[in-house]
Amino acid sequence: MPNNTPWTTQQSADMYGIHEWGADYFSCNSDGHITATPTINGEKKALPIIDIMNDVYARGMSAPVLIRFEDILEQQIGRLNHAFNHAMHEADYTGQYRGVFPIKVNQQCHVIE
């Protein structure tokens, strides 16, 4: 027997497991589409991934593509550094922490810096 109940955004979020991996950077919008939420000009803006992919296709490219949100990367690196600094302070560790990012993963200088 078919279910006539309309599909909800929450069902999309549950299906994608977005609350498990999205870390407040990814969510589902009211249309049920996955959105990325980078900070643009100091303001968080939800960008539907489908719109990004439509732009990719309009430029003559095809999937798979790598989409890099530099502000998200920067925020995650900041969180990592903060976590280490906090742990070092709690443990009275007097050494230094220096994050190292493999060149094979981040070949672009502006990502590493």
pTM over 0.75: no
Say if residue 83's pLDDT is above 80: yes
- The number of residues in the chain equals 113
Question: What pLDDT band is residue 93 in, cutting at 50, 70 and 90?
Answer: very high
Say if residue 104's pLDDT is above 70: no
Q: How far is CA 46 from CA 26, 58, 108, in A?
A: 8, 21, 25
Most confident of 14-23, 56-65, 77-86, 101-110: 56-65
Mean pLDDT throughout 50-55? 95
What distance in Å separates the CA atoms of residue 113 and residue 110, rounded to the nearest whole number? 5
Mean pLDDT throughout 8-18? 86
Question: What pLDDT band is residue 90 in, cutting at 50, 70 and 90?
Answer: very high
* Domain range annotation of the chain: 1-67, 68-113
